[in-house]
Structure 1
Amino acid sequence: MRTNAAIREAAVRLFYAHGYKATSIRAIANEVGIQVSSIYNHINSKDELLAEIMLSVMDELLDSANAVLDGVVGGAPERLKAIIDFHIRYHAEHAREVFIGNSELRSLSGGDLEKVLARRVEYEQLLIQLVDDLAKNTGADVLDAKMQAYSILAQGAHVASWYKPQGSKSLDDTVEIYITMTLRQLGIDGRALR
């Protein structure tokens, strides 16, 4: 199991640094410190490895988002705030995986691409529903729930591209700013929800 985890971690590092196409199985094996022939005791192919990384990230994202929502006390505003908090933190803390997920979709083959896209749609639908619920329960000014969900999705990808733990903004401050910006877009004073 340690070797499997090491292979996955090496693949994430190398796919992030060099891209999927430019990363060879030999490079992954070298990074882990095993023979190329030995890597096939743990994976069937580089394609399968990429698919496993992308699917496991989407599964973790969906499972964790649903767990966060299950733990929310309060109504639609609290649920939306909680999911934005989770979404921004997840993307900041998993920047390499987020980058791979967004840049290497083109490298997935048919069935794997369909699975990843289905999970992405499921996550998107979860956000759309939260925005719709907010509009229904608070009168928030939602021009288009799907576009608002896309805005939240884009915030996560954006954070993954620039956030650094040693940077000038703490993750807590970053999360609060994104929550406030989203609520303001919807005409809701975030301070009133505290």
Structure 2
Amino acid sequence: MARVETAARRRAVPPTVLTRPDDDPTAATLLAAAVEVMAVNGYHGSSVRDIAVAAGTSPALLYHHYASKQGLLVTLCDRGLDVLIRATEEALDAAGPDPADRLGAVVAAHVGVHMESQRESLIGNSEVRALEPAGRALVVAKRDTQRRLFDRTVREGVRDGRFTTAHPDDAARFVLTACTGVAAWYRPGGGHSAAEIVARHRAIALDAVGCVR
């Protein structure tokens, strides 16, 4: 009976985009449980026992797969940025040469990931301060990689004469921050569809960089 209950509890953990096909099933369940628990309680408000219980397993088994709760947070943030960077790079590859299309592509990718992976995005954005130095350095480096995709896209538009902003880096930062903030206020089933939110952010981004229509 205990095995049946444990399996049922594991199936009840909401899935997360952070798990990978080659993950050990228990490790994947623990990562999904960490997302579920930390999204509600925050990193400091979540204990190893809370996460283990949500996964239907024990703290001892959690420590078998992850060195610590900190290790879980590093994995969560690191993989979340991998998802974001990959989506943005793929969008750029498909966008073609027009600077407006390219900026629209990175905006759509960034906003899309923050809506589709809202819990993961909220944790990744808010809990960087809880990371210890080594983990923080890894995560900040990947955040900088994503930021540079926006910076480069805006600079290319200015160079090509399509964007007129005199402050391309500031404009790129403004756009990136606005797109990241979607995770904090987006509500599925709210007044606007995901497609409408993406379209509005594209339009705002083009206005921010002074796009020549």
The match for 1:89 among 103, 106, 112 is: 112
For the pair 1:136 / 2:186, whether they are aligned, the reply is no
Out of 174, 177, 182, which is 2:200 matched to?
177
**Aligned equivalent of 2:125:** 102
Greater shift in the superposed pair: 92-101 or 165-174 = 92-101
Tell me which residue corresponds to 1:116: 139
| Deviation (angstroms), 1:13 | 1.4
What letter corresponds to residue 37 of structure 2 in structure 1?
Answer: L
* Structure 1 residue 155 corresponds to structure 2 residue 174: no
Cα distance in structure 1, aligned partners of 2:32 and 2:84 = 18
The correspondence for 2:150, drawn from 111, 127, 143, is: 127
Note if 1:11 corresponds to 2:11.
no
SS at match of 1:102: helix
Residue 53 of structure 1 pairs with residue 76 of structure 2: yes
Structure 1 unaligned spans of 5+: none
Contact 2:35 2:120 in 1 (8 A): yes
2:67 aligned with 1:44: yes
Residue 30 of structure 1 corresponds to which residue in structure 2? 53
- The CA distance in 2 between the partners of 1:100 and 1:173, in whole Å, is 25
RMSD between superposed Cα atoms in Å: 1.4
Q: TM-score, normalised by structure 1?
A: 0.92
Which deviates further from its counterpart, 12-21 or 144-153?
144-153
Mark the runs of 5 or more structure 2 residues left unpaired by the alignment.
1-23
Q: Contact conserved, 1:92 with 1:156, CA < 8 A, in 2?
A: no
Bigger RCO of structures 1 and 2 (CA < 8 A, at least 6 apart): 1
- 3-state SS in 2 of match to 1:78: helix
The TM-score normalised by the length of structure 2 is 0.84
Number of corresponding residues: 190
Percent of aligned pairs with the same residue?
28
